[in-house]
Amino acid sequence: MKLSANDFIQRKGVKPIPMLTAYTCPVARGIEEAGVPVILVGDTVGMVEMGFESTRDVTIEHMEYHIGAVRRGAKDTHIIGDLPYLTDANPEIALASAKRLMAAGADSIKLEGGKLDVIKHLVANGIPVVGHTGLTPQTAESFKKVGNTSEDAQRIIDEAQAIQDAGAFMLVIEHVPATLGLTITQSLRIPTIGIGAGPDCDGQVLVINDAMGLGDYWPPFSKQYAHASRTILKVAREFVSEVETMEFPNNILQFTGTAGKR
Ligand code: KIV
């Protein structure tokens, strides 16, 4: 059953919320089958799938394409669509962008930072909004942890409160000290979802490529539950070898009964 914004608010303090990113149909299908209640189609797609140096290269068309693919794989899961860089530059541009992502299949929209006028305008127009504070990659100068000084921590606490007050139903907190993740989580009535924000947030999100061990760099706060890059290497090497020795396709008759099954 697809959860609504209100369902996630009700879940705060009751049951932790697992969230994974997804960008493609088969991955989304597996995530839904595993019972993950919310998928983020993040603009991380630009870095982990498209080979860009920055999420700033992601366009609204890229996001529509990936949200559509994820929706086709996960029909019954709440999908958050990320507004790419500058597509939330002002309330009117943000609303037009958000409508495109909702039409592509998103149930709610995430945007980075304390753009309170934008959040209020989206909410007033019936778009459920997820905030994002702490490290905000679209505008950050580096990917280092933020909120280390008391002034910066207070800035993030104030921003989190303001994002909630503007009408967001959920807040992603990225790469801050665990104590700050706890303080914000305790002070808000909406659920916080941490990524490198300690164990006390109301939920945790991982980029699926990091969780699968797909790629060649994973942030220190992530966990690799598998090593997909190694699997790709193994598959490709075996394939090369078998084609060159003409074992494949002669040997596929040995593998009876697997075609069409996972
Ligand atoms: O774009 C994204 O995937 C994100 C997560 C890192 C939270 O914003």
What's the pLDDT score for residue 78? 98
If asked whether residues 75 and 161 sit together in one domain, one would say: yes
Radius of gyration of the chain (CA): 20
Are residues 258 and 148 part of one domain? no
Query: Which of 17, 48, 108, 110 to mutate to test ligand 1, by most ligand atoms within 8 A of the CB atom?
Result: 110
Query: Does ligand 1 lie within 6 Å of residue 17's CB atom?
Result: no
202 and 95 together in one domain: yes
Whether residues 207 and 261 fall in one domain: no
What pLDDT score was predicted for residue 223?
Answer: 98
Residues 245 and 214 in one domain: no
Residues 92 and 165 in one domain: yes
93 and 217 part of one domain: yes
What is the predicted pLDDT for the residue at 104? 98
Distance CA 212, CA 225 (A): 6
Counting from 1 in the atom list of ligand 1, the atom nearest the Cα of 137 is: 8
State which ligand 1 atom lies nearest to the alpha carbon of 172.
7
Q: Which domain holds residue 241?
A: 227-262
Structure tokens at 69: 């693919």
Confirm if 109 and 80 have CB atoms less than 8 A apart. yes
Cα(110)–Cα(146) distance, rounded to whole angstroms? Answer: 20
Look at phi and psi of residue 10 and say left if phi exceeds 0, alpha if psi is from -120 to 50, else beta: alpha
- Residue 48 Cβ inside 6 Å of ligand 1? The answer reads no
Residue 238 alpha carbon to ligand 1 centre in Å:
34
The answer to whether 18 and 203 are in contact (CB under 8 A) is: yes
**To which residue do tokens 């209020």 refer?**
120
Q: Is 204 in the pocket of ligand 1 (CB under 6 A)?
A: no
Distance spanning both ends of the chain, measured CA to CA: 23
Is 159's C-beta closer than 6 angstroms to any atom of ligand 1? Answer: no
- What are the φ and ψ backbone dihedral angles of 33, each rounded to 5 degrees? -60, -30
* Overall number of domains in the chain: 2
- Per the annotation, where are the binding residues for Mg(2+)? 43, 82, 112
CA 124 to CA 98: how far, in whole Å? Answer: 13
Our answer on whether the CB atom of 205 is closer than 6 Å to any ligand 1 atom is yes
CA-closest residue to ligand 1 atom 8: 42
**Residue 233 contacts residue 216 (beta carbons within 8 Å):** no
pLDDT at 252: 85
Note the pLDDT of residue 185. 98
- Catalytic amino acids? 174
Tell me: the pLDDT tens digits for 213-262? 999 899 999 999 999 999 999 999 999 999 999 999 999 866 555 666 66
Closest Cα partner for 19 from 44, 39, 48?
39
Distance in Å, CA 2 to ligand 1 centroid = 21
pLDDT of residue 175: 98
My answer on whether 118 and 25 are in the same domain is yes
Low-confidence ranges of the chain (pLDDT < 50): none
Work out the angle between the directed axes of helices 25-33 and 60-73 (0-180°, nearest 10). Answer: 50
Q: Are 3 and 41 in contact (CB under 8 A)?
A: no
Q: Which candidate, 180, 160, 158, 182, places its Cα nearest to that of 171?
A: 160
pLDDT of residue 42: 98
Q: Check whether residue 234 and residue 220 sit in a common domain.
A: no
**Residue 132 Cα to ligand 1 middle (Å):** 9
pLDDT of residue 191: 98
Determine contact, residues 164/173, Cβ cutoff 8 Å: no
Query: In this structure, what CATH number is given to the domain that contains residue 22?
Result: 3.20.20.60
Closest CA to 146 of 105, 118, 184, 94: 184
The residue nearest atom 4 of ligand 1, judged by CA position, is 42
Residues 59, 46: Cα–Cα separation, whole Å: 9
In this structure, which amino acid lies at residue 7? D
pLDDT at position 106 is: 99
Q: What is the pLDDT of residue 261?
A: 66
Q: Bridge-partner residues for 21, per DSSP?
A: 40
Distance CA(36)–CA(63), nearest Å, equals 21
- If asked whether residues 126 and 103 sit together in one domain, one would say yes
Q: Identify whether residues 232 and 157 lie together within a single domain.
A: no
Are 19 and 133 in a shared domain? Answer: yes
Binding site, annotated residues: 43-44, 82, 110, 112
